Amino acid sequence: MNALSWDDRVHNYFQKNRVLVTGGAGFLGSHLCERLLERGSVVICLDNFFTGSRTNVAHLMQNPDFEVIRHDVVDPIRLEVDQIYNLACPASPVHYQHDPIKTLQTSVWGGLNMLELALQNGARILQASTSEVYGDPSVHPQPESYWGHVNPIGLRSCYDEGKRCAETLFFDYHRRKGADIRIVRIFNTYGPRMHPNDGRVVSNFIVQALRGQDLTVFGDGTQTRSFCYVDDLISAMVAVMNHEHQGEPEPFNIGNPEEHTMLDLAEMVIRLTNSSSRISFLPLPSDDPRQRRPDISAVGTKVGWKPVVDVESGLRRSIEYFRTIV
């Protein structure tokens, strides 16, 4: 309940950091809202509930410093805020390919609307970009200076090119209009509150193992990814948002450089869940990147962040969560 006195409300309005989190009811957004409230901010969670849900933020609803707005970032909105984290966008290939035109609109028009909102308020804005801007990389591991190897007309392009275009918009708003921008390129992140039907590999494997079903490895399973635990990722996002850079802004890779093949991952999940599941092989989706590992030296040197949760510990915590819901 909002049982604050008038004085408390006025204090919160003028003294506390007012933060907008778009996509705040999603997997990462809900963890971010929680962390920002713990840090003493007033948090507005904005979401159209395409892949997010009220359940993800239900435990925050009683906090008088938290509110939820149902809104689509494709439409402009007026709010008074000091910082904006722009996370609104489906992240799982299954979901972003469901309506690819809408996915592009969300990244591009959504990015534009949030940049305009940031300018109206003089607010700092952080864009949740992605390792997908590197496509199927020919440089390994990927530093921020790598321009990528992206198919512009494939099934993943609505997401990859949408996010690339959003980065372009952010930098042009900075150069032309003085927008105070931050960009993080997020590599595969996992943890509690991923949707069990999300379609991403970690949630798929854990749910399949807990249900005693075959783990579905796409292709021959030799493709690699690097998996970051959600708590580490949220620490990085907050650190980058509040980092005062020297000179021009720059995008930062965020992820855990520990790299695994999908076969390794499947075997690890079977072992950690004590499951009797086996592995079955399904066709590799088109344009599926062969390898992914972030070079995180820039964020380490300049922002002072590095991940602290190794993959096995993070998987154990995630398995505990999925045991409670499947």
By the rule CB under 6 A, 259 interacts with ligand NAD: no
Give which of ligand NAD, ligand UDP, none residue 93 binds (C-beta under 5 to 8 Å, depending on kind).
ligand UDP
Q: Judged by CB under 6 A, which stretch of 24-32, 141-149, 266-274, 306-314 contacts ligand NAD?
A: 24-32
Closest contact distance (angstroms) between CB of 147 and ligand NAD is 18
Residues numbered 67 to 126 that lie near ligand NAD (CB under 6 A) are 72-74, 87-91, 106, 110
User: Is beta strand 83-86 parallel, antiparallel or unpaired with respect to 124-130?
Assistant: parallel
Give which of ligand NAD, ligand UDP, none residue 223 binds (C-beta under 5 to 8 Å, depending on kind).
ligand UDP
Residues annotated as part of the active site:
159
Q: How many CB atoms lie within 10 A of CB 39?
A: 12
Of the two residues 277 and 309, which places its CB atom closer to ligand NAD in the complex? 309
CB 150 within 8 A of CB 164: yes
Residue type, 32: L
Q: What are phi and psi of 77, to 5 degrees?
A: -150, 150
Give which of ligand UDP, ligand NAD, none residue 201 binds (C-beta under 5 to 8 Å, depending on kind).
ligand UDP
By the rule CB under 6 A, 147 interacts with ligand NAD: no
Closest contact distance (angstroms) between CB of 51 and ligand UDP is 13
CB 148 within 8 A of CB 292: no
Closest contact distance (angstroms) between CB of 263 and ligand UDP is 9
Q: What are phi and psi of 250, to 5 degrees?
A: -145, 150
Closest contact distance (angstroms) between CB of 185 and ligand NAD is 8
What's the CA gap between 86 and 138, in Å, rounded?
A: 29
Binds ligand NAD by CB under 6 A, chosen from 18, 44, 52, 253? 52
By the rule CB under 6 A, 256 interacts with ligand UDP: no
Q: What is the DSSP letter of 49?
A: -
By the rule CB under 6 A, 225 interacts with ligand UDP: yes
Of the two residues 121 and 130, which places its CB atom closer to ligand UDP in the complex? 130
Contacts with ligand UDP by CB under 6 A: the residue count is: 13
Buried b (16+ CB within 10 A) or exposed e, 298-326: bbeeebebebebebeebbeebbeebeeee
Helical H segments across the chain, by residue range: 6-15, 27-38, 54-57, 93-96, 100-121, 157-177, 201-210, 230-241, 262-273, 297-298, 311-325
First to last CA, the chain: 31
What are the residues binding ligand NAD (CB under 6 A)?
Answer: 22-23, 25-29, 47-52, 72-74, 87-91, 106, 110, 128, 130, 186, 188-189
